[in-house]
Each structure stands twice: as C-alpha cells, then as structure tokens.
C-alpha cells in the first residue's frame, strides 16, 4: 500500500507525523516553505523544564525523516479536491496527488511592535524572547552588554483584548522562567525580574522549575503587568508596572527588557486553508472537528490538522498530536 | 357657503386646541421655573438682546418652518418636512388674514365678543362658513396640496426609507404610529370636505384634529411647539444641568425622533447596537425609562456626530453627561499625590525663558512612545526651546473623571496642572492628544498661554520654515479625531501638513462626518467585540480610496486603528520623521 499523504509544514508536527506515517507504510510528502526542516524549534537553544538542548531533539527528528520526500523553499500555491483525493500545485510548478492532507503549519510569533507601549523597535534595549533565545544559541547580541538589571514581561500579545488575542499562549510562562534562569547563569550578578499575571506551570516538572527559579537563581517574580516603558538619558529603560500583591505601582530602571511574545496563527497558509474549506476558531487558529476525539480532524473529509496550527502548544503536545494524526490518517486511508 | 356661525363639528377641534394650549402653557412655565436662577436670568435677558433676538427669528423660521438643515442633508427629505410644516403654517396664516380681509363675513354678521370666539375656529373650517376670494382660494388650495404632497412622500418613506437617503429609521410604539396616521389623514379629509361639503368629512377632519392635538404632548410631535422654546434657550447659551429638568427637558420634547442620528452613529454597524443611538436615548429618558436611559448614556462613545447631524441641533451628548453626573458611581480616588508633583525644570530651578514651548504628552501618548519621540525630534530640529511637562509621567488632564461626571475630582487635577503650567512661564502649550486638547481648551483657565494641538503646531513650524520636509508619492488618508474635528473644527491644519509630504486622499466620510475609531474613552460598557465592529467599519470607510497609509492625530485612534487596519497607521507627527528634508 503506497498512498501519498501531503504534509504542509516541516516543523515538529510535520516531521513527527511523516515519521509515523512512513512506519505505517504510507508515503508522506513534506512541503516546507523555509530552507530547513525543524520549524521554530530548530531556532531554539534549550527546552524547558530541564534545559535539554533543542538541537538534540531536532537532530533525532531530522534523522527519522531523512528518507521522506521533502520539498524545501516550497509552498503549496493551489490545491483542489478530485475523485482520488487532492491535487496540489507547488511553487516549483510540480504537482502532487495525495489521498489526504495534513496541515501542520504551526504558528507565527506575535509582532511585538503592536504593543507600542513596550517600546519594541523604538528603544534599543527592548528585545523579544526569540531574540534572547538566539543570544543563548549564538552568544551574539549587541543589546546584551553585561546587563545589571533585566526584566521579563509575560503575556505580550496573549490574554490581551487590546490586541484582539484573548487566549493564553501556554508556553511563555515556563519559557520566561527558563530564560530568566539562563540569563542568571550567564550574568550571575544581574538582577532579574519577571512581570506576570499568573504563572501557568501546567506540566510535569514545571512547578519545580518555578521554585528553582526563585530559590537557586534568585529571580524576582512580580505579579502585575508592565504598563509603559520609556528611555532615560543614558538609554536605560524606565518601566512602570503594578505589583498587585503589594497593591502598589512601581517604577524601575532596567538595562534589558525581554518581551515574552505569544503565538499567533500562521497566516501564510490562509489561502490554501480557505481553498480546503477549513475555518478558523474564535482565537484565529484553525478550527478542528472537536476538542476531544476529533482534535485531528476538520470539517472537511481527508483534511487533517496537527500541532500549533489549531492553538498554542508545547513541544510534547505537538509531538503527541503528530502521532495521533498519523493514526487518524492511517484509519482514514484504510476505510476508503 | 353656510349662513351660520357655528356647527357642532367644530367642537372636537376646539376641545383639542384648548387642551394642547393649556398643556403647552403649563409646560412652558414648568420648564422656565426648573431653570437654575442664573440660567433663567440669562434666558430672559437673551430674549431682549438684539443679537440673540435676531438669531432667534432667523432660526425660528429657518429651522421650524423651512427645515434648512434637512434640506442640506437630503432635498427630498427637506421638501417633505417643509411642505408639511410650512404649508400648514401658511394655511393658518392665510386663514387668519382672510378673516380680516372679508370683514364683515358675507352672510353672517358676527360682532364683538362672539367674533373673537369664532376667530378661533373659523380659519380652520373656513370653506364651510364663508366664501374665499379667488386669490385666497387659490393660495389655500395650493398650500393644502403642498401639504398633501409632503404626506405622500412621508408614506413612501415609511415603506422605503432609502428614497430620502435614510437607511435606518426610528422604531415607534403604538401612540407614535397612531398620531402619525392621524396626521396623514387630516389634510386629505379637509380637501374632500372642502370640495364635496359632505358633513361626514367635516366631522372626520375635526375629530382627526382632536386626536392629533390630544396625543401631541405624549408623542414625538410635541417637538412642533417645543422646538420654538428650545431655539430660544439654545441661543441664550444655556447648558443642560439635570437630565430631565429645564433646558434638558425642553430638548427631550424637541427631539422629533426623526432618526437622522441613527445612520450617523458609529454604533449603527448592526441592529442591536443601533438601539444605543441618541434618538432612542431621548425617547427613553423622556418616557422615564431611567434604566435604559442610564445604560445608553453609559454606552455612548461621545463622538458628537449625532449632535452634528441633528436637524434640531439637540445637544444630546450634554444631556448624557448630565445623566451620568446624576448617578453616584462608586469611584474612590485618592488624589493626595497631587501635592508632591513638580516638573523636572521646577526641581532643578531652571525657570524660564519667554519663548519656551511646553509639551504635554498625556497618558495616551505615553503609551505610544513613537509619537513622543517624533515630537522631541520635531522640536529639536525646529530649534525650539521646550520643556516636557509630563516626562516623568504627569497628572491626567481630567477628562476621564469629567466623562464619568466626577467634576470635583477632575477639578483637583485641573488645578494642579494649571499651577505647573503657569509656573513654567511658557507662552505656548502643545498637546499630542485631542482628548487633552479638549479639556485644556474648555476647562482650564490659562490666560496668556496659547494652546495648540500638535497638528497645528507642526503646520505652523512648516509654514514659517522651521521644519523642512520632502514631498513624496505616498497616498495618505486622514482620519479626523472626534475631539479635534467636530469639537474644535481643526480640519485644515492636519491636511496641510499631509499635503506637504504626500498625496492626501479622501475618506468616504470626512471632517464633520468622520466616524469614531471605536476606542473612545466615552463609552463605559461597550464590549471589545462591539468596539471591534465599530473600528472595522471606520477603517473600511478610511480605506475607500485605497490609501497606502492611514494618518490620524490622536494616540487613542492610532492604537485602535492599528488593531484592524490592513495598512500602516501613523500619527501625523511620525510623518515628519519619515519625510524630514
């Protein structure tokens, strides 16, 4: 039985789904728009909660998909349903016939410029969590110059009606604490503050990380949101926030401010998604069939979803979904 | 012609007329007595002041009879209103003139006291009692037909309102529908009665008049007599102080529920929200539905567009403010921090050169640092000596407290800001936020200090050569912030600035008719989803000519539009950063 399964997106979800489908005897084909597989996770340095190197996981995944037919720097430009399944046209003008389609298109990072009050793109020393992770990976960032005081702002672009995102982005809380510890490792004398609404430590070992952050790394967690950021004459950042546990406003001067940017739906797939007839949910992510038994299905027969294209997800969540989508697709093909 | 001076069919009319006159007289006295003492004096004095007296006469004719403002909006709608109002007025006037010209009435001798009594109803039923001369007969028929033509348009409008350019119309209850039916039938009955002299139609005509006049005080048609009083009070410069008393009451009764504000209201993006418009607010408040009136007053964005389009010039926003002020909202504010606040310059003792510009960013601009940064660059490039009044986070201008009717709290902040500004020694105050601008212009007493919004300031700097900019091919559209445009008529300066740096395209609705961004501080209880709908509609209006960028001059509009706009949204100050020569 050799049946083509088109997987759009070659991140964690796409790669893991391809691995499983291949083991099941189907023929997965990955179409990835960027020049490499691995998605966002390939840009990451270490993973929470145990500071495990991301490269380790990504390399294992890459190794598993080395025999899978993969198109890099390629996008699906058109897709149509026919009696055999789907016919997709790629940006390199090749055509793929597939029995089923898996959307594993993942997420985009919230554009921090949209929260102008945090000053990203205006003040030099405001950076995003992604840029900080890049610093950990490469050791290069002109903004990080032996900082004495560093702040983290949680929920940037998440749980915020003012940017039209009311959902929780799920992974930023734990990532912020992980990064806070890591920056303390690099600069042990620095003072590190995190500004949170509430800390959502939902997974195994996450709560332990929270305790460790405070006990071992002396990171100060402040419950309250940062309301505005400005720059003083020396180019340092002056932030205003509220400490809701003390019930008092506070003002603080920082060397670096890190914005924990949320996940947003990857909009580059919108046209193809529309052609496939898959709707969005109220958070703007893709709408799956239901939240429980139909989490990998969509309203359209033969169109499946996996990973962060339906909601913000952690890496373990995504891998789990990728494996489950493979089973769903396998059953779907067999029932035909 | 019937040789008699009385017939029982005049009784319904006489009864109705007596009722409505009594009601209006009592109402007039009540409204005047409800005015605060100072207002009453001001009102009575205005009646004998030549300038206001002239304005009174002009508007009594222009607004009550000719409906000039409705003509401007839609000629057919204007004709409909003035045909009925002016036609009716002329019939009454000509009727009375005929009484005097046909003296003594042919066939009937009425003298003395009886004459004044018959005068009361003679002009109304003239053709039954006396014969007209041909000229008058023609005039009477002409105006009667004019009224009927107006009514015909009204009937068509009821079925298909778009014919007069109206999308949404006010929804009426039983009484309003019934009196409307009475009004529509009065004149056809009169025409038939006059032409056929069938008694039944004289009776119908008279009974119709009774129904109309009896229901008048309880329906929207009360605007006919009340509008005259309202015009006089408006010209006296009164302010609505209590939501259902005095001047506000006169306005409530002057609202014809015409619904022109419904289409204008930014909330009318869907049926549900269109129930929050001023036409309904006035109706609910008038009918003492205080829960609904309170809700609508709190929902309103206070953009002022309904006031701008109102053919009667009813100041509905002011009434909503007075409604808000009447509710004791639980706001416990602590203003003890005001005592310790000073500016940087004051702390360092660097006061002051005379040509200094004082810049007040305000809290909304503090949240949009790009604007602050652009303003700094502008003032520095222009070589202006300036002081940044709220660099370390100053005091609020007072607007949010004013919006919630908390005058005393607002005054505490206003007093402290006034002190800081006066101490600075500056001669000019520049503001980036139209919300602040409105408060500084209206509530502050800063004699000798010029208050400018930064659109005006930047335009002035470009004009006198202090700022040099490059003109490019970028297509801009400008959004008029409510509190800069409608409130102060600052329409030209921002447009001049934009024309200096790029092409200015038109939005679908501009200037006075500009649509609120949806982010207004004015509303207390619109949900984010409802606001988003308003914003999307406003953005679509701005995108009418496919501009490359949207430019506004209010930090709140900027933030609100940025959420929904398909193209970049910039403050007018940011344009300088891009186009600096």
Task: Say whether both A226 and A289 belong to one domain.
Answer: no
For residue B107, the SS3 value is coil
Residues 6+ apart with CB under 8 A from A36: A42, A72
CB atoms A116 and B559 under 8 Å: yes
What is d(CA B374, CA A274) in angstroms, rounded to the nearest whole number?
41
CB atoms A122 and B373 under 8 Å: yes
B405: left (phi over 0), alpha (psi -120 to 50) or beta: left
Residues in chain A closer than 8 A to B528 (CB atoms):
161-162, 164
In chain B, domain spans: 10-226, 241-325, 336-460, 471-579
- Are residues B484 and B447 in contact, defined by beta-carbon separation less than 8 angstroms? no
Highest mean pLDDT among A162-176, B114-128, B330-344: A162-176
Task: Say whether both A196 and A325 belong to one domain.
Answer: no
CB atoms A122 and B532 under 8 Å: no
Which DSSP helix (H) or strand (E) runs through B104? none
* Tokens representing residue A260 in the block: 């924990």
Query: Nearest-CA distance from A127 to chain B in Å?
Result: 16
- Whether the upstream peptide bond of residue A158 has omega within 30° of 0, thus cis, is no
State whether residue A190 sits within 8 Å of chain B by CB. no
CB atoms B368 and A122 under 8 Å: no
Domain boundary among A244, A263, A282: A263
Over range B381-398, report the average pLDDT: 86
Q: Is the alpha carbon torsion for B14, B20, B21, B26 positive or negative?
A: positive
Residues in chain A closer than 8 A to B393 (CB atoms):
240
- Are residues B96 and B117 in contact, defined by beta-carbon separation less than 8 angstroms? no
- Are residues A103 and A309 in contact, defined by beta-carbon separation less than 8 angstroms? yes
Does the pLDDT at position B1 exceed 50? no
CB atoms B370 and A123 under 8 Å: no
Query: Nearest-CA distance from B364 to chain A in Å?
Result: 9
| B336-460 and B471-579 in the same fold | yes
* Residue of chain A whose Cα is closest to the Cα of B568: A114
CB atoms B563 and A116 under 8 Å: no
Q: Tell me which residue range forms the domain holding A192.
A: 112-263
φ/ψ of residue B104, rounded to 5: -80, 160
Query: Nearest-CA distance from A125 to chain B in Å?
Result: 14
DSSP string for residues in B461-516: HHHTTSS-B-----EEEE---TTTHHHH---HHHHHHHHHHSEEEPPSS-GGGPPP
Residue A92 Cα distances to A6, A74, A82, A96, angstroms:
16, 7, 21, 11
Does the pLDDT at position B451 exceed 50? yes
Residue B126: which of B112, B149, B108, B114 has the closest Cα?
A: B108
pLDDT of B70 reads: 86
Query: Nearest-CA distance from B463 to chain A in Å?
Result: 29
In B292-356, beta strands by DSSP E: none
Buried (b) or exposed (e) across B347-384, using 16+ Cβ within 10 A?
eeeeebeeebbbbbbbbbbbbbbbbbbbbbebbebbeb
The pLDDT-based confidence of B111 (bands split at 50, 70, 90) is: low
State whether residue A113 sits within 8 Å of chain B by CB. no
Which DSSP helix (H) or strand (E) runs through B430? strand B428-431
φ/ψ of residue A101, rounded to 5: -125, 135
Residues in chain B closer than 8 A to A163 (CB atoms):
563
Window B:340-379, CB contacts with A under 8 Å: 366-370, 372-373
Residues B527-550 have pLDDT tens digits of: 888 999 999 999 999 999 999 999
Does the pLDDT at position B112 exceed 60? no
Residues B232-271 have pLDDT tens digits of: 999 998 888 888 888 999 999 999 888 889 999 999 998 8
State whether residue B511 sits within 8 Å of chain A by CB. no
CB atoms A164 and B563 under 8 Å: yes
* SS3 of chain A: CCCEEEEECCCHHHHHHHHHHHHCCCEEEEECCCCCCCHHHHHCCEECCCCEEHHHHHHHHHHHCCCCEEECCCCEEEEEEECCEEEEEECCCCEEEECEEEECCCEEECCHHHCHHHCECCECCEEEHHHHHHHHHHCCCCCCCCCCEEEEEEEECCCEHHHCECCCCCCHHHHHHHHHHHHHHHCCCCEEEEEECCCCCCCCCHHHHHHHHHHCCCCEEEECCEEEEEECCCCCEEEEEEECCCCEEEEEEECEEEEEECEEECHHHHHHHHHHCCCECCCCCECCCCCCCCCCECCCCCEEECCCCCCCCCHHHHHHHHHHHHHHHHHHHHCC
- Are residues B551 and B539 in contact, defined by beta-carbon separation less than 8 angstroms? no
* Tokens representing residue B386 in the block: 């300036």
Domain boundary among A212, A236, A263: A263
* Residue of chain A whose Cα is closest to the Cα of B560: A162
What is d(CA B68, CA A228) in angstroms, rounded to the nearest whole number?
50
Residues in chain A closer than 8 A to B532 (CB atoms):
164
Cross-strand bridge partners of residue A150: A192, A256
What is d(CA A50, CA A316) in angstroms, rounded to the nearest whole number?
13
* Residue of chain B whose Cα is closest to the Cα of A240: B393
User: Which class for B313: exposed (0-12), middle (13-18), buried (19 or more C-beta within 10 A)?
Assistant: middle
pLDDT of A48 reads: 93
What is d(CA B460, CA B462) in angstroms, rounded to the nearest whole number?
5
Over range B430-457, report the average pLDDT: 93
State whether residue B528 sits within 8 Å of chain A by CB. yes
State whether residue A117 sits within 8 Å of chain B by CB. yes
Residues B137-169 have pLDDT tens digits of: 888 889 999 999 999 999 998 888 888 878 888
Does the pLDDT at position B10 exceed 90? no
Residues in chain B closer than 8 A to A230 (CB atoms):
366, 369, 372
Residues above pLDDT 90, as percent of chain B: 55
Over range B392-418, report the average pLDDT: 85
pLDDT of B307 reads: 93
Mutate to test the interface with B, among A113, A161, A241 (most CBs of B within 10 A): A161
pLDDT of A172 reads: 96
Task: Say whether both A190 and A303 belong to one domain.
Answer: no
**What are the average pLDDT values for consecutive 10-residue runs of chain A, which has 336 residues?**
88 97 96 96 95 96 96 96 94 95 97 93 95 95 94 96 91 97 96 96 95 96 93 89 91 96 96 96 95 94 97 96 97 92
Task: Say whether both A127 and A214 belong to one domain.
Answer: yes
Q: Domain B471-579 belongs to what architecture?
A: 3-Layer(aba) Sandwich (3.40)
Task: Say whether both A117 and A259 belong to one domain.
Answer: yes
Task: Say whether both A166 and A236 belong to one domain.
Answer: yes
Position of tokens 């009083």? B229
Mutate to test the interface with A, among B341, B348, B362, B367 (most CBs of A within 10 A): B367
- When the pLDDT of each residue in chain B is averaged and rounded to a whole number, the result is 88
Residues 6+ apart with CB under 8 A from B373: A122, B577
Residues in chain B closer than 8 A to A162 (CB atoms):
528, 559, 563
Query: Nearest-CA distance from A253 to chain B in Å?
Result: 13
- Whether the upstream peptide bond of residue A49 has omega within 30° of 0, thus cis, is yes
Task: Say whether both A79 and A172 belong to one domain.
Answer: no
Q: What is the total count of domains within chain A?
A: 2
Which is more confidently placed, B64 or B432? Answer: B432
Residues in chain A closer than 8 A to B534 (CB atoms):
none
State whether residue B30 sits within 8 Å of chain A by CB. no
Task: Say whether both A88 and A148 belong to one domain.
Answer: no
- The beta-carbon neighbor of B369 closest among A116, A163, A164 is A116
Residues 6+ apart with CB under 8 A from A142: none
State whether residue A77 sits within 8 Å of chain B by CB. no
Does the pLDDT at position B449 exceed 80? yes
Over range B555-565, report the average pLDDT: 92
* Tokens representing residue A164 in the block: 């039209």
B336-460 folds as Rossmann fold (3.40.50)
Residue A154 Cα distances to A196, A258, B330, B504, angstroms:
5, 9, 31, 40
Domain boundary among A237, A263, A289: A263
Task: Say whether both A102 and A226 belong to one domain.
Answer: no
Q: Is the alpha carbon torsion for A41, A42, A44, A47 positive or negative?
A: positive
- For the domain that residue A169 is a member of, what is the CATH number? 3.50.50.60
What is d(CA B446, CA B452) in angstroms, rounded to the nearest whole number?
12
Task: Say whether both A258 and A119 belong to one domain.
Answer: yes
State whether residue B58 sits within 8 Å of chain A by CB. no
What is d(CA B153, CA B176) in angstroms, rounded to the nearest whole number?
18
Residues A322-333 have pLDDT tens digits of: 999 999 999 999
- What global pTM score does this model have? 0.83
Task: Say whether both A91 and A181 belong to one domain.
Answer: no
CB atoms A122 and B366 under 8 Å: no
* A/B interface, count of CB pairs below 8 Å: 35
- The beta-carbon neighbor of B367 closest among A123, A163, A228 is A228
- Are residues A270 and A257 in contact, defined by beta-carbon separation less than 8 angstroms? no
pLDDT of A1 reads: 45
Torsion of CA B258, B260, B263, B264, to 10 degrees: -140
Task: Say whether both A123 and A245 belong to one domain.
Answer: yes
């Amino acid at each position: 039985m050799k049946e083509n399964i088109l997987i759009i997106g070659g991140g964690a979800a796409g790669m893991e789904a391809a691995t499983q489908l291949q083991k099941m005897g189907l023929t997965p084909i990955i179409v990835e728009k960027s020049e490499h597989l691995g998605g966002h996770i390939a840009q990451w340095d270490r993973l929470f909660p145990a500071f495990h190197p991301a490269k380790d996981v990504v390399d294992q995944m890459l190794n598993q998909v080395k025999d899978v037919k993969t198109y890099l720097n390629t996008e699906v430009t058109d897709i149509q349903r026919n009696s055999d399944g789907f016919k997709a046209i790629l940006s390199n003008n090749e055509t793929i016939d597939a029995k089923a389609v898996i959307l594993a298109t993942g997420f985009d990072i919230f554009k921090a410029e949209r929260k102008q009050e945090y000053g990203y793109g205006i003040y030099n020393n405001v950076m995003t969590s992604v840029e900080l992770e890049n610093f950990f990976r490469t050791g290069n960032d002109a903004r990080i110059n032996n900082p004495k005081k560093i702040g983290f702002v949680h929920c940037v672009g998440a749980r915020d009606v003012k940017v039209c995102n009311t959902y929780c982005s799920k992974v930023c809380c734990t990532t912020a604490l992980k990064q806070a510890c890591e920056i303390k490792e690099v600069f042990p004398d620095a003072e590190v503050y995190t500004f949170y609404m509430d800390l959502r430590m939902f997974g195994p070992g996450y709560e332990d990380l929270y305790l460790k952050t405070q006990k071992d790394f002396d990171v100060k967690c402040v419950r309250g949101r940062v309301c505005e950021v400005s720059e003083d004459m020396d180019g340092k950042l002056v932030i205003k926030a509220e400490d809701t546990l003390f019930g008092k406003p506070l003002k603080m001067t920082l060397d670096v401010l890190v914005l924990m940017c949320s996940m947003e739906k990857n909009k580059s797939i919108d046209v193809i998604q529309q052609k496939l007839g898959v709707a969005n949910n109220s958070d703007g992510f893709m709408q799956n069939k239901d939240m429980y038994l139909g989490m990998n299905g969509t309203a359209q027969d033969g169109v499946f979803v996996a990973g962060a294209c339906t909601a913000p997800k952690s890496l373990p969540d995504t891998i789990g979904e990728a494996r489950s989508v493979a089973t769903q697709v396998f059953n779907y093909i067999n029932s035909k | 012609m019937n040789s008699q001076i009385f017939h029982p069919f005049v009784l319904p009319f006489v009864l109705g007329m007596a009722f409505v006159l009594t009601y209006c007289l009592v109402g007039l006295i009540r409204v005047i007595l409800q005015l605060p003492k100072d207002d009453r004096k001001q009102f009575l004095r205005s009646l004998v002041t030549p300038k206001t007296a002239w304005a009174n006469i002009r508007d009594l004719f222009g607004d009550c009879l000719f409906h000039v403002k409705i003509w401007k909006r839609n000629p057919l709608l204007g004709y409909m209103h003035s045909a009925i109002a002016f036609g009716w007025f002329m019939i009454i006037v000509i009727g009375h003139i005929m009484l005097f010209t046909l003296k003594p009435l042919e066939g009937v001798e009425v003298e003395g006291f009886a004459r004044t009594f018959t005068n009361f109803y003679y002009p109304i039923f003239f053709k039954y009692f006396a014969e007209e001369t041909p000229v008058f007969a023609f005039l009477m028929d002409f105006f009667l037909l004019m009224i009927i033509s107006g009514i015909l348009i009204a009937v068509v409008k009821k079925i298909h309102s778009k014919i007069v350019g109206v999308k949404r119309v006010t929804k009426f209850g039983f009484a309003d529908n019934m009196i409307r039916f009475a009004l529509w039938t009065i004149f056809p009955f009169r025409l038939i009665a006059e032409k056929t002299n069938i008694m039944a139609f004289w009776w119908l005509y008279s009974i119709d008049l009774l129904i109309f006049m009896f229901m008048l005080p309880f329906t929207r048609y009360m605007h006919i007599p009340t509008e005259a009083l309202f015009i006089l009070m408006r010209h006296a410069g009164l302010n609505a102080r209590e939501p259902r008393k005095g001047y506000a009451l006169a306005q409530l009764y002057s609202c014809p529920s015409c619904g022109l504000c419904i289409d204008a209201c930014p909330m009318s993006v869907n049926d549900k929200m269109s129930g929050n418009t001023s036409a309904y607010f006035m109706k609910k408040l008038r009918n003492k539905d205080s829960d609904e009136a309170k809700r609508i007053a709190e929902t309103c964005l206070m953009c002022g567009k309904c006031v701008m389009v109102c053919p009667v010039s009813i100041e509905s926003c002011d009434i909503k403010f007075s409604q808000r002020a009447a509710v004791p909202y639980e706001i416990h504010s602590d203003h003890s921090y005001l005592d310790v606040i000073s500016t940087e310059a004051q702390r360092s003792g660097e006061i002051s050169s005379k040509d200094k510009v004082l810049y007040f960013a305000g809290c909304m601009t503090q949240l949009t640092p790009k604007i602050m940064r652009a303003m700094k660059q502008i003032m520095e490039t222009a070589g202006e000596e300036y002081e940044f009044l709220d660099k370390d986070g100053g005091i609020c201008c007072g607007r949010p407290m004013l919006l919630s009717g908390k005058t005393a709290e607002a005054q505490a902040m206003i007093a402290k800001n006034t002190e800081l500004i006066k101490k600075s020694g500056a001669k000019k105050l520049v503001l980036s936020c139209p919300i602040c601008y409105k408060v500084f212009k209206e509530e502050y007493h800063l004699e000798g200090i010029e208050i400018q919004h930064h659109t005006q300031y930047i335009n002035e700097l470009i004009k006198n050569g202090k700022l040099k900019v490059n003109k490019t091919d970028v297509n801009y559209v400008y959004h008029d912030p409510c509190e800069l445009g409608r409130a102060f008529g600052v329409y030209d300066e921002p447009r001049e600035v934009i024309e200096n740096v790029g092409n200015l395209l038109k939005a679908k609705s501009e200037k006075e008719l500009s649509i609120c961004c949806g982010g207004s501080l004015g509303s207390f209880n619109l949900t984010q989803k409802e606001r988003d709908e308003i914003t999307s509609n406003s953005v679509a209006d701005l995108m009418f000519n496919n501009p490359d960028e949207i430019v506004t001059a209010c930090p709140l509009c900027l933030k609100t539009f940025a959420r929904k706009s398909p193209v970049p949204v910039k403050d007018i100050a940011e344009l300088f950063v891009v186009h600096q020569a």
